[in-house]
């Protein structure tokens, strides 16, 4: 039986990306199709999505608009791919340049509750044959933006008088990041058009407010998150964001499925954004990438200086304040640091100041630059991801593929994907990077020292790098796990 599944999300690489979510929504539906599923995607019609999709044509008018003058569904596809993508055309809501969630002042748009309620409601309409040619059996909603999908489906089932427990489609809610909860003032509830009893502790109410994330966790048939370790962590007080009790209560419906890498986008043997190609068997191109990176960022041209790279959102989550503190350790030992990122002003300033102090050894580029991200991963010896928490993390997976050994904090998906270069792991042939346990300066510093020590042992470094590059984190295995989950639901 071919399973028809609709993925509902707010980002899609390469059209609109603020983080790893976009990489996942591009690759996972495609991997599901590869495994025989009939997968489609639903997105808000943000300016870059509306401009970037090919063959867009109208499918249906949407009767409810949540305050926008009009809204409709269109169907198109990503150029160069066959993945069908539904898009909500509601220009008053979505046709705003820049960040999809925040205005120019980095403040969330005042009408975000309505903008993303429309997304959830439109998904429920697709289940109810808004497109006469196709309707999903499974809807997988990603992050708080799509959190209302299961709630609208539950409400629609009730309206149609389906018996308790019967639904119009089965739902999966996927948590990419529990820190973003989609919280809105309680007054907004009246704008959502949900039954009044849904505003309840057993429902979408969260400490007197609304939480779109909680709605997803509460009403979905299954909950997934993007790594097995994060699935455990979010059931604890320390990392549950106030939702740990709900998550523990649903632990039988909660599963961690690791993200994958799209090796057609992240492959050093074919990557069009890097100075030279290389692979585990032909590594000479890696040095050329490093030299090119040093030249581009005006760092000292030193072959033997280990380059530490960072490609990251600059937020509290990513733990880069700790790295900033450890910077003297890297520089004084003759290493270099390259940072590409954008976000918190204090981090931007901190790294910029460091670059000014050590122009030969530290370079910082503020902004979002896909091509430079590839060049940094290709040209670095180490990629640092010292996150406080990390649901999965894709950067360390890309780093492995490009022979840049990941240096990571042992949390979430980082713990599930990188093996520390301890003496025993080196001896047993398991090591792929550097892992530190405690989120404290001395623990990070020790990991940095381990990186320098291994770098000085040429043979061990090459061995570890080859092993890192041979790891397979392709999407096929994860897609099979999602399919097994869908089958269980059906």
Could you say which of 7, 9, 23, 278 contacts ligand ADP (CB under 6 A)? 23
CB 379 within 8 A of CB 453: no
Could you give the 3-state DSSP secondary structure of residue 184? strand
What one-character DSSP code corresponds to residue 106? S
Asked if residue 406 binds ligand ADP (CB under 6 A), the reply is no
Q: Does 221 bind ligand GLC (CB under 6 A)?
A: no
Q: Smallest gap, in angstroms, from Cβ of residue 342 to ligand ADP?
A: 5
Tokens standing for 201?
A: 């502790």
Q: In the bound complex, what is the minimum distance in angstroms from residue 413's beta carbon to ligand GLC?
A: 6
Query: Closest distance between ligand ADP and the C-beta of residue 345, in Å?
Result: 15
Stretch that binds ligand ADP, among 74-82, 388-396, 424-432, 464-472 (CB under 6 A): 388-396
Q: Is 307 in a helix, a strand, or coil?
A: strand
**Residue 24 in tokens:** 């996942």
Which of ligand GLC, ligand ADP, none sits in contact with 226, Cβ below 5 to 8 A by type? ligand GLC
Count of alpha carbons within 13 angstroms of residue 412, beta-carbon side: 28
Under the criterion CB under 6 A, does residue 341 sit at the interface with ligand ADP? yes
Which residues in the 118-177 window bind ligand ADP by CB under 6 A?
none
Decide if residue 392 touches ligand GLC (CB under 6 A). yes
Q: What is the DSSP string of 33-74?
A: HHTT-EEEEEEE--HHHHHH-EEEEEEEE-S--TTSS--EEE
369 binds, among ligand GLC, ligand ADP, none (CB under 5 to 8 A by kind): ligand ADP
Half-sphere exposure of 227 (CA within 13 A, CB side): 24
Nearer to ligand GLC by C-beta: 21 or 192? 21
311 binds, among ligand ADP, ligand GLC, none (CB under 5 to 8 A by kind): ligand ADP
Site for ligand GLC in 159-188 (CB under 6 A): 176-177
Q: Is 98 in the site for ligand ADP (CB under 6 A)?
A: no
Q: How far is CA 410 from the centre of its chain?
A: 18
- As a whole number of angstroms, the distance between CA 165 and CA 366 comes to 50
- Which residues lie across from 63 on neighbouring strands? none
Vertex 312: Cα angle to 306 and 313 (nearest 5): 155
Minimal distance in Å, beta carbon 67 to ligand GLC?
Answer: 28
Whichever of 402 and 486 has its CB closer to ligand ADP, that residue is 402
| Of 354, 290, 278, 287, nearest in space to 320 by CA | 354
| Residue of the chain from 87, 124, 394, 431 that contacts ligand GLC (CB under 6 A) | 394
Positions that interact with ligand GLC (CB under 6 A): 19-21, 24, 176-177, 226, 259, 390-394, 413
């Amino acid at each position: 039986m071919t399973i028809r599944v609709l993925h509902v999300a707010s980002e899609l690489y390469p059209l609109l990306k603020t983080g790893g979510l976009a990489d996942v929504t591009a690759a996972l539906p495609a991997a599901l199709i590869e495994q025989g599923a009939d997968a489609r995607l639903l997105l808000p019609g943000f300016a870059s999505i509306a401009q970037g999709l090919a063959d867009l044509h109208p499918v249906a008018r949407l009767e409810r608009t949540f305050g926008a003058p009009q809204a409709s569904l269109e169907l198109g596809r990503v150029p160069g791919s066959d993945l069908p993508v539904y898009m909500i055309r509601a220009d008053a809501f979505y046709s705003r340049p820049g960040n999809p969630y925040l205005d120019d002042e980095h403040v969330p748009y005042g009408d975000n509750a309505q903008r993303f309620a429309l997304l959830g409601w439109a998904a429920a309409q697709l289940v109810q044959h808004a497109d006469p040619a196709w309707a999903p059996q499974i809807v997988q909603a990603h992050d708080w933006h799509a959190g209302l999908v299961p709630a609208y489906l539950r409400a629609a089932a009730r309206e149609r008088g389906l018996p308790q427990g019967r639904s119009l489609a089965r739902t999966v809610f996927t948590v990419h990041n529990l820190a973003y909860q989609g919280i809105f003032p309680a007054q907004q509830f009246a704008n959502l058009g949900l039954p009044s009893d849904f505003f309840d502790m057993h429902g979408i109410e969260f400490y007197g407010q609304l939480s779109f994330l909680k709605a997803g966790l509460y009403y979905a048939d299954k909950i997934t998150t993007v790594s097995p370790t994060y699935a455990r962590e979010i059931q604890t007080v320390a990392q549950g964001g106030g939702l740990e009790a709900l998550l523990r209560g649903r632990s039988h419906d909660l599963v961690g499925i690791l993200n994958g890498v799209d090796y057609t986008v992240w492959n050093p043997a074919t990557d069009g954004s890097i100075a030279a190609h290389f692979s585990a068997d032909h590594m000479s191109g890696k040095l050329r990438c490093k030299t090119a990176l040093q030249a581009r960022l005006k760092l000292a041209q030193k072959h033997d200086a280990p380059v530490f790279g960072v490609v990251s959102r600059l937020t509290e989550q990513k733990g880069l304040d700790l790295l900033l503190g450890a910077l003297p350790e890297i520089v004084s030992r003759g290493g270099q640091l390259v940072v590409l990122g954008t976000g918190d002003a204090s981090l931007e300033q901190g790294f910029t100041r460091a670059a000014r102090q050590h122009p030969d050894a530290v370079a910082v580029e503020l902004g979002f630059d896909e091509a430079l991200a590839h060049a940094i991963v290709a040209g670095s010896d180490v990629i640092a991801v010292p996150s406080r928490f990390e649901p999965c993390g894709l950067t360390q997976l890309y780093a492995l593929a490009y022979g840049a050994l990941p240096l990571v904090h042992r949390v979430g998906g980082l713990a599930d994907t990188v093996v520390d270069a301890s003496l025993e792991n080196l001896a047993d042939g398991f090591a792929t990077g550097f892992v530190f346990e405690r989120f404290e300066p001395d623990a990070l510093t020790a990991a940095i020292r381990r990186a320098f020590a291994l770098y000085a042992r040429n043979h061990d470094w090459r061995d570890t790098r080859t092993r890192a590059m041979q790891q397979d984190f392709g999407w096929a295995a994860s897609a099979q796990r999602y399919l097994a989950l869908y089958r269980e639901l059906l």
